[in-house]
Amino acid sequence: MQIGAITITTTAEKPSRTPVGRQPVRWYQYLKWGDWVLYALIGLLAAVMFALAPGRLASPGTGAVLERGGEVILTLSAADLAASGSADVVSGAYHYHLVYTDGRIRFAEADCPDKICVRTGWISRPGQIAACVPGDLILKLTGTGDPDQTDDVDVIVR
C-alpha cells in the first residue's frame, strides 16, 4: 500500500532484494582476451618452473658420504652405489644398517629411539640427506663422490 511518498508493506508483500529478471554477475564476464592470455602465460610459466625445478632433472648421486659429528666415517664411490651392497655402522650406543643399490642409498635398520633416519627412505639425487640426530649421523649424496666437496663455500655474504 502506498500513501503519498511513503510505502507501507506487510510481511506478505516484502520487496525482493534483486530486481526481477536480473542474473547474478559472474567475475569472468569482465575479463578481456588479454587477461585470458596473461593467465595462460602465468600458468605455463609455473608449469615449466615446476618441471625444471632443481633436483627434478638432476643425475643420480655419484657418491655418498656418511659423517659423524663432522668427521667422515664412510665414503662410497659411484661404482659402489651402482653395485648392490650394505654397510654396518656403530655410532655411540646405536647400530645402523645401510643398504645401497642402483645409485641410491638408505638407512635400512637402526636402533635409535625415533627412527627418522629409517623413515626418510631412499635418497638418490645429489644434495639429498638422511640424518639421525641421536646417533649424530648425516648421510649425504654428493655430485662427485669426493668428500672434500662438502667443504666448498656455498655463499659469501659481505
Q: Does 84 map to a domain?
A: yes
The predicted-structure confidence for 42-61, as pLDDT tens digits, reads as follows 999 999 998 887 655 555 55
Residue 125 binned pLDDT confidence (cut-offs 50, 70, 90): confident
Q: Does 70 map to a domain?
A: yes
Handedness of CA 25, 31, 32, 36 (dihedral sign): negative
Instruction: Determine which of 3-7, 71-75, 125-129, 149-153 has the lowest per-residue pLDDT on average.
Output: 149-153
Structure-derived torsion over alpha carbons of residues 80, 86, 91, 94, reported in degrees to the nearest 10? 160
**φ/ψ (deg, to 5) at 135:** -90, -5
> Which positions ≥6 away from 91 have C-beta within 8 Å?
68, 73, 132, 135, 136, 137
* Strand blocks (E) in 9-78: 63-68, 71-77
Q: Does 2 map to a domain?
A: no
Give the residue numbers spanning the domain of 75.
63-151
Q: 105, 99 in Cβ contact below 8 A?
A: yes
Identify the CA nearest to 62 among candidates 78, 47, 43: 78
Residue 110 binned pLDDT confidence (cut-offs 50, 70, 90): very high
Q: Does 137 map to a domain?
A: yes
Q: Does 101 map to a domain?
A: yes
**Number of domains composing the chain:** 1
86/99 Cα distance (integer angstroms): 4
Q: Does 100 map to a domain?
A: yes
pTM: 0.55
Q: Does 17 map to a domain?
A: no
Q: Does 23 map to a domain?
A: no
Q: Specify the CATH number for the domain of residue 130.
A: 2.60.320.10
Q: 113, 133 in Cβ contact below 8 A?
A: no
